[in-house]
């Protein structure tokens, strides 16, 4: 057995073949805790990860594994995939403790690794739900068993441990199980897991170990999919993404997280095997998803019943399911596609999701979470209802989201910068430093930014080598005008394929300043998005705004007072990104349906304040809305009637 | 034992105490098969009931009962409430065969009655799901067992049999079980059924038998409810309507059918016990429901996940759950409240539900059904998906709706006319005859109407008695102008409390003609109904219209062609009630979200035709929408931005 813990290196996603863009090492970027990204990562380290570990150590996730080594007498309880929550937490600790700084946390993680190790069967197989049942063997509940889903999260944790050089035993536990799975799920055994996830995990484990069998098993899962093996079930084959072979897929459909994890696996397999058709299929589904089935916050999934994506343009703000895990999966997918293609559109979607759909899921304390992330919540909710979430909760019966957030944020700095044959790319401005290696040339970037409050980013670029190379900075799709200065001197730079590209010798230390114009934008949805017809959403930079009940004084954002508000003016944001607005009101209708009635404002003004969507709900349960009705929408032209 | 089959008389709901309005006998009204109501009832008799019996006799509903008498070796399968489908079908046959005309159908029903009788335990208890399990006894799964729900449907079938003088054994089976339930569910046994239904059934059985114990058990179910006995479950206590005692309820919430059946039981108990506070509570919840949570089609329930009513003004047309059973329950509730109060608003809501939410659920063949009745279906569906219904299906895994329709339509003529101390009331115009007994005075009404195609209703009123009495005809809330003629002479009659009231001696035979003006109405929703902002629905008389893909020629009701249509003109309807419209198009947007873009028509015209909502989907799967976007809604005023 190769000692895997020597395979240190990158963060998540490290292709072994040449891709247009390359990730940097996990240790290469450090975030400043005073910046937007760094303060979140610090909150994740100091609050979210311990909170997640507390819940796992004291709940069914622990007892389900512990009973297998006789440490608990409790029966198996909860979701069949509670193991995966442990694995996600272990992955979070690995990414977070790569510098070995947090001894206490590593020690808690080590205890969990030992728990998993002790739960294993002789050949390395481990799944506490399957092992708890005497009536069912391995690989017997493809639809709902989540067996490879759990295994995949174990593999990803093992990959993080290997790359970070921590929790060595976890790497062995992961590869032992992967060896068994690769052996058993071959030949006649055509087990296909109902929840895609293992595909990307196996590719990553292949990347760390070089074991071709893992890549083969990943590809096999893709090849088995799409022929109705999983049976119809009540939600239909598309729920499991088993209605069409992945390479032939044209539409994003089914369970949102399954669809997005499947796309991640497709990209990973395509990249490692040079399968252009598979990559094209992923891109095709991506286009359908982002052109017709994505919330303005970057979230996915409009149906609660089957956690599904829904029809094209079916994007209700109130009943948005918008699962946190789907937003995380979207972020991971776009990172993969960005590396594989170098195209800006993927970095743009990462930004939208990160600053909105993902960031909203954690409270400002880091210890409360949204599972579902609606864009509108009506009044009358006390924050306790998972199905109409008006407040973040400490934990969930289905606890997939909090540990998923923990592992993503612990590796957040891995997703911001890349290198290429021509130079380095800053996709996402942040506060912190990056130590890059550009084909043997060491380069240091010291970045500071007003992002997302403002559009100014400064980079002190230092290198001792004299050689021309390109420093590229992404211009977000929302940005119409930019200014570039190097050492105080204004440069004429036109964005090329979405990036400001400055090619020069950066020998010595130079100050690059990039400014993005960042006006408030009134966003309208495509005319087929019926649910927000006649409404606008306000955004500034990457931040989508929300109107919270808390900020409209005596008025009521739902009652006739300002529901049908006319947007009179929008002011510049305050230091905490609150955005003053003047709204017209009140509007009054009486009956639920009427023939003659017209709702109209009485002309008075209401002074309110919008908050970043990601920060709503931190002041107690309150009605909220992202999409604001405009005056035009209520002056319906009823046409001529006979 | 009293021979119950002598208790012949009314149709559903027959208070034993004086109420403002009284139902007429089941045999008193006969529908003409050429009219709207009568042709539907005939289709129900000749197609729907046989179709329902076919499916029950050849499916798990039959085997689940048959195995208890050794006639089937199959294990219990399907929903735990398959018995109730049999009982609803038996009720349908009873109402349908009161005149003993259909011997074949009565014989099929008799075989089912014998099947149920043979399945019973010694004390008359019968529930095939409970009896199939050795690990659980009676009354042990209050949340999900549907034990009294099934019993209630048995009791209602027994009531119908008794009132119609058919299927005598069914009456005994019902009362035997009711006796056992009343004995066992008393004292310390505080079993509360998760699905309200039995309350109204027990009151009706009390009305037929005079057994006070049945009324007591009904009241007891109401009194036990609202204290969290049923536990929280994943959908919360309000799903079971167990979050607040019924008499204290202020809001319509939870599972739509459960809420509506509970309200029916509340009204029945209130009427029989003279409980004004309980009646007031039902009225309070009714007001909340119809003021804020009712679709323009009269449907209820906006959430698929828990079949729930949703928040106030949460009325998405596309994801409307709008279960057929909820519309039926609403019709039954409004009939109860109409009898109890005499107020027109209840008859109005019966009309809306009947001509739209209920009528849409059956195909023009009577053999295919909607379970969920959305007000918008996007393109791309082939009609096979229960979750996004674009076509009616033959049957359902959860088969509650088709037999529920069958029993309602078999007794449809019972819901049209009432009598009172002062005379007779025509609530719903129909083609047919009514033989009334007005305090000993026989009166014959021969009715013919153009309804719903037109607004003219003629009644030949015949009586041999000379005495002044009031013939009242409801003026629907949508009707702004009426004309009344008696024997050709125009009368000045102003509606009083919503009814045209003509008081005179009708001795001999006189022709009354009532005309309702019936223009096409453009209906707007309350400004808080976010999902249809900027849209109108068209209606004419009681009929709500829908635009089907089939009727827009080369255009596409979803694509940029005419999605954001401007309503240019509306013509008079054709003989088959199709309504010609001219729409503006096309409109084109490109991106899912945009800052600058405005969608606007290019000024061309599209000639299309609207169909009655109740008849959509009879020409194959097609996109459909009730709410039509207006031009105003896309010229959003984005306000001033900095």
Which whole number is the average pLDDT over B153-169? Answer: 96
A304-335 burial code (b ≥16 CB/10 A, e <16): bbbbbbbbbbbbbbbbbbbbbbbbbbbbbbbb
Q: Above 80 in pLDDT, residue B277?
A: yes
For residues A444-473, give the mean pLDDT.
Answer: 96
- The Cα B333–Cα B261 span in angstroms is 8
Q: To the nearest 10°, the Cα dihedral for B383, B386, B392, B398?
A: 150
Decide if pLDDT at A587 tops 80. Answer: no
* The two three-digit tokens of residue A380, written as one number: 């009358």
Q: Is the pLDDT of residue B564 over 70?
A: no
Residue B447's nearest CA partner among B27, B40, B29, B21 is B29
Q: If you average pLDDT over residues A509-527, what whole number do you get? A: 93
The mean pLDDT of chain A is 92
CA–CA min distance B456, chain A (Å): 18
pLDDT score recorded for residue A236:
86
| Pairing state between β B601-612 and B29-31 | unpaired
CA distances from B286 to A464, A569, B154, B179, B317 (A): 78, 41, 27, 32, 21
Q: Do B636 and A524 touch (CB under 8 A)?
A: yes
Please state the rounded mean pLDDT for residues A371-378.
Answer: 95
Using the predicted structure, report yes or no on whether residue A17 has a pLDDT greater than 50. yes
Is B592 close to A304, i.e. CB distance below 8 A?
Answer: no
Q: What's the pLDDT band for B130 if we cut at 50, 70, 90? A: very high
For helices A168-184 and A103-119, what crossing angle results, to 10°?
30
DSSP per residue over B232-252, as a string?
A: -TTT-GGGGT-SS-GGG--S-
- The C-alpha atoms of residue B129 and residue A456 are separated, in whole angstroms, by 68
Nearest-CA distance A354 → chain B (Å): 18
Q: Which residues of A touch B630 (CB under 8 A)?
A: 636-639
Residues 6+ apart with CB under 8 A from B230: B142, B143, B192, B194, B237, B240, B242
pLDDT at residue B5 in the model: 38
For residues A558 and A581, give the distance between their C-alpha atoms in angstroms, rounded to a whole number. 17
* Interatomic CA distance for residues B622 and A246, integer angstroms: 27
pLDDT at A446: 98
Question: Where on the phi/psi map is residue B195: left (φ > 0), alpha (ψ -120 to 50), or beta?
Answer: beta
Min Cα distance A227 → chain B (Å) is 18
Strand extents, DSSP E, B294-387? 376-377
| Interface membership of B382 toward A (CB under 8 Å) | no
Give B311's contacts in chain A (Cβ within 8 Å). Answer: 318, 378, 380, 388
Strand A468-474 and strand A423-426: the pairing is: parallel
Chain A closest-CA separation from residue B624 CA (Å): 13
Cα maximum dimension of chain B: 84
Give the rounded percent of residues in chain A with a pLDDT score beyond 90.
79
CB atoms within 10 A of CB B158: 34
Determine the pLDDT at residue A588. Answer: 65
CB contact under 8 A, B319 and A317: no
Does the pLDDT value for residue A117 go beyond 60? yes
pLDDT band at B492 (very low <50, low <70, confident <90, very high): very high
CA dist., res. B80 & res. B150, Å (int): 9
What was the pLDDT predicted at B389?
76
Q: Is the pLDDT score of A382 beyond 90?
A: no
Report the range of poorest mean pLDDT among A55-69, A229-243, B438-452. A229-243
On the question of pLDDT at A223 being above 80, the answer is yes
Cβ-based neighbour number of residue B467 at 10 Å: 13
Put simply, whether B316 touches A (Cβ < 8 Å) is yes
Q: Residue B266: phi, psi to the nearest 5?
A: -60, -45
The CA radius of gyration of chain A, in Å to the nearest whole number, is 25
Q: What percent of chain B has pLDDT over 90?
A: 79
Which candidate from B290, B387, B636 shows the least CB-CB separation from A633? B636
Instruction: Report the pLDDT value the prediction gives residue B1, as an integer from 0 to 100.
Output: 37
User: Which residue among B314, B564, B572 sits closest to A318, beta carbon to beta carbon?
Assistant: B314
Does residue A632 or residue B274 have the better pLDDT?
B274
From B253's Cα to the closest Cα of chain A, the distance in A is 12
Sign of the dihedral defined by the CA atoms of residues A99, A101, A102, A108, in that order? positive
Lowest mean pLDDT among A561-565, A626-630, B272-276, B572-576: A561-565
Q: What is the spatial distance between Cα B443 and Cα B464, in angstroms, rounded to a whole number?
A: 8
Least CB–CB distance from A637: residue in B235, B290, B631: B631
Residue of A nearest to B589 (CA): A526
Q: Shortest CB distance from A592 goes to which of B236, B305, B525?
A: B525
User: Where do runs of H (alpha helix) occur along A58-197?
Assistant: 60-66, 82-96, 103-119, 128-131, 147-164, 168-184
Nearest by CB to residue A528, choosing from B385, B397, B558, is: B558
* Out of A142-151, A250-259, B307-316, B526-535, least confident range: B526-535
Residue B38: C-alpha distances to residues A296, B94, B410, B541 (Å): 51, 17, 10, 19
Rounded to whole angstroms, the Cα distance separating B273 from B206 reads: 12
- Report pLDDT for B635: 39
Q: How do residues A310-345 score in pLDDT, each as one tens digit?
A: 999 999 999 999 999 999 999 999 999 999 999 999
Confidence label for B9 from pLDDT (cuts 50, 70 and 90): confident
Cα dihedral A97/A102/A103/A104 (nearest 10)? -110
Is B574 in the A-facing interface, judged by CB distances under 8 Å? Answer: no
Mean pLDDT of chain B: 92
Q: Which residues from chain B sit within 8 angstroms of residue A599, using beta carbons? A: 527
CB proximity A634 to B under 8 Å:
yes
- Write the burial class of residue A385 (CB in 10 Å: 0-12 exposed, 13-18 middle, 19+ buried): middle
Report residue B207: phi and psi, to 5°. Answer: -65, -35
Using CA coordinates, name the residue in chain A closest to B583: A639
Q: How is residue B477 written in tokens?
A: 């809330």
**pLDDT at residue B64 greater than cutoff 80:** yes
> Chain A residues with CB inside 8 Å of B563's CB?
527-528
DSSP code, position A48: I
**Which of A296, A571, A592 is facing B526, going by the closest CB pair?**
A592
The Cα diameter of chain A in Å comes to 84
Helix (H, G, I), strand (E, B) or coil at B58: coil
Partners of residue B318 in chain A, C-beta under 8 Å: 311, 314, 316, 530-531
Render pLDDT for B182-210 as a digit per residue (tens, 0 to 9): 999 999 999 999 999 999 999 999 999 99
With b for 16 or more beta-carbon neighbours within 10 A and e for fewer, the A540-575 pattern comes to: bbbbbbbbbbbbbeebbbbebbbbbbbbbebeebee
What pLDDT, on a 0 to 100 scale, did the predictor assign at position B606?
81
Average pLDDT over every residue of B581-600: 71
Supply the DSSP string of B616-634, one letter for each residue.
TTBTBS--EESEEE-GGGG
**A612 has pLDDT over 70:** yes
Q: What is the pLDDT of residue A642?
A: 32
> So what's the pLDDT on residue B531?
95
Nearest-neighbour CA in chain B from A302: distance (Å) = 10
Query: Would the CB atoms of A319 and B303 count as touching at under 8 Å?
Result: yes
In chain B, the residue whose alpha carbon lies closest to the alpha carbon of A523 is B595
- Higher pLDDT pick, B442 / A639: B442
Residue A568: what pLDDT?
A: 72
A560 pLDDT tier (thresholds 50, 70, 90): low
Contact B367, B406 (CB under 8 A): no
Alpha-carbon distance of A638 to B349, in angstroms, equals 24
Instruction: Please tell me the predicted confidence (pLDDT) of residue A641.
Output: 35
In this prediction, what percent of chain B has a pLDDT beyond 70?
A: 93
Q: Categorise residue B560: left if φ over 0, alpha if ψ from -120 to 50, beta otherwise.
A: alpha
Of the pLDDT bands very low, low, confident and very high (cuts 50, 70, 90), residue B350 is very high
The separation between CA A444 and the C-alpha centre of its own chain, rounded to angstroms, equals: 28
Does the beta carbon of B631 lie under 8 angstroms from any beta carbon of chain A? Answer: yes
Model confidence at B586: pLDDT above 70: no
Q: Are A472 and A426 in contact (CB under 8 A)?
A: yes
Backbone phi and psi for residue B50, each to the nearest 5 degrees, phi listed first: -60, -40
Taking contacts as CB-CB distances below 8 angstroms, the residues of chain A near B591 are: 291, 526
Q: What is the predicted pLDDT for the residue at A164?
A: 94
Contact B495, B475 (CB under 8 A): yes
Which pLDDT does position B388 carry in this prediction? Answer: 66
Which of A220-234, A470-484, A597-611 shows the lowest mean pLDDT across its residues? A597-611
User: Which pLDDT value is given to residue A534?
Assistant: 84
- Compute the average pLDDT of residues B622-636: 74
**What's the confidence (pLDDT) of residue A326?**
98
Contact A567 B520 (CB under 8 A): no
Is B639 within 8 Å of A570 when comparing Cβ atoms?
Answer: yes
Q: How confident is the model at residue B641 (pLDDT cuts 50, 70, 90)?
A: very low
pLDDT at A562: 61
pLDDT single digits (tens) A154-167:
999 999 999 999 99
State the smallest CA–CA distance between residue A441 and chain B in angstroms: 42
Q: What would the mean pLDDT of B475-488 be, rounded to a whole number?
A: 96
- Tell me the per-residue pLDDT of B217-254, one tens digit each, with 9 for 90 and over: 999 999 999 999 998 778 889 999 999 999 999 999 99
Kind of pairing, strands A468-474 and A482-486? unpaired
Answer yes or no: is pLDDT of B133 > 70. Answer: yes
| pTM of this structure | 0.94
Is B305–A387 a contact, with Cβ atoms under 8 angstroms apart?
A: yes
Q: What DSSP string describes A3-18? A: -GGG---BSS---SS-
Q: Under an 8 A CB cutoff, do B520 and A642 touch?
A: yes
B297 touching chain A per CB within 8 A: no
| Residue A481 CB neighbour total at 10 angstroms | 11
Are A521 and B641 within 8 A, CB to CB? yes
Using a CB–CB cutoff of 8 Å, tell me whether B564 touches chain A.
yes
DSSP state of B24: P
């Amino acid at each position: 057995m190769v000692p895997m813990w020597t395979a240190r290196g990158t963060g998540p996603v490290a292709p072994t073949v040449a891709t247009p863009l390359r990730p940097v090492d996990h240790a290469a970027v450090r975030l400043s805790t005073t910046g937007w990204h760094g303060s979140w990562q610090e909150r994740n380290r100091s609050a979210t990860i311990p909170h997640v570990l507390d819940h796992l150590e004291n709940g069914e996730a622990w007892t389900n594994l512990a009973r297998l080594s006789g440490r608990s007498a409790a029966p198996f309880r909860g979701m069949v995939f509670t193991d995966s929550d442990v694995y996600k937490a272990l992955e979070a600790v690995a990414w977070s403790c790569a510098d070995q700084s947090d001894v206490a946390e590593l020690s808690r993680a080590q205890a969990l690794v030992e728990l998993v190790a002790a739960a294993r069967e002789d050949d390395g197989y481990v799944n506490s739900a399957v092992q708890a049942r005497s009536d069912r063997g391995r690989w017997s509940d493809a639809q709902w068993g989540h067996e490879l889903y759990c295994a995949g999260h174990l593999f990803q944790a093992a990959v993080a441990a290997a790359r970070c050089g921590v929790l060595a035993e976890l790497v062995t536990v992961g590869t032992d199980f992967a060896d068994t799975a690769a052996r058993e799920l071959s030949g006649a055994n055509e087990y296909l897991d109902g929840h895609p996830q293992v595909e990307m995990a196996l590719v990553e484990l292949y990347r760390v170990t070089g074991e071709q069998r893992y890549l083969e098993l990943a590809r096999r899962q893709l090849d088995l999919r799409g022929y109705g093996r999983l049976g119809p079930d009540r939600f239909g084959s598309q729920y499991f993404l088993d209605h069409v072979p992945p390479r032939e897929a044209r539409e994003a459909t089914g369970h949102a997280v399954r669809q997005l994890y499947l796309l991640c696996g497709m990209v990973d397999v395509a990249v490692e095997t040079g399968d252009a058709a598979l990559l094209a299929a992923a891109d095709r589904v991506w286009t359908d998803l982002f052109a017709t089935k994505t919330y303005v916050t970057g979230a996915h999934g409009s149906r609660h019943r089957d956690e599904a994506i829904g029809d094209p343009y079916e994007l209700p703000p109130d009943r948005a399911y918008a699962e946190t895990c789907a937003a995380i999966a979207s972020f991971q997918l776009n990172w993969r596609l960005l590396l594989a293609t170098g195209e800006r559109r993927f970095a743009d979607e990462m930004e939208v999701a990160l600053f909105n759909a993902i960031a909203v899921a954690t409270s400002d304390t880091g210890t409360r979470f949204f599972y579902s992330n609606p864009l509108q919540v009506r009044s009358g909710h006390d924050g306790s209802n998972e199905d109409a979430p008006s407040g973040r909760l400490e934990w969930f019966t289905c606890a997939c989201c909090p540990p998923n957030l923990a592992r993503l944020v612990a590796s957040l700095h891995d997703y911001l910068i890349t290198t290429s044959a021509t130079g380095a790319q800053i996709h996402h401005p942040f506060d912190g430093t990056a130590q890059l290696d550009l084909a043997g040339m060491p380069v240091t970037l010291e970045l500071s930014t007003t992002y997302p409050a403002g559009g100014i980013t400064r980079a002190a670029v230092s290198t001792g080598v004299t050689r021309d190379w390109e420093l590229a900075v992404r211009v977000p799709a929302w940005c119409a005008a930019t200014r570039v200065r190097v050492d105080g001197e204004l440069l004429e730079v036109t964005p090329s394929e979405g990036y400001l590209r400055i090619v020069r010798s950066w020998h010595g230390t130079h100050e690059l300043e990039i400014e993005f114009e960042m006006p408030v934008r009134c966003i309208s949805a495509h005319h087929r998005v019926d649910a927000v017809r006649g409404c606008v959403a306000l955004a500034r930079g990457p931040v989508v705004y929300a109107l919270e009940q808390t900020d409209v004084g005596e008025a009521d954002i739902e009652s006739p007072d300002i529901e049908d508000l006319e947007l009179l003016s929008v002011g510049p944001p305050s230091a905490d990104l609150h955005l003053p607005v003047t709204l017209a009101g009140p509007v009054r209708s009486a009956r639920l349906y009427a023939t003659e009635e017209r709702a109209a404002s009485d002309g008075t003004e209401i002074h309110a304040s919008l908050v970043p969507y990601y920060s709503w709900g931190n002041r107690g349960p309150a009605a909220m809305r992202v999409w604001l009705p405009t005056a035009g929408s209520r002056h319906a032209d009823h046409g001529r009637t006979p």
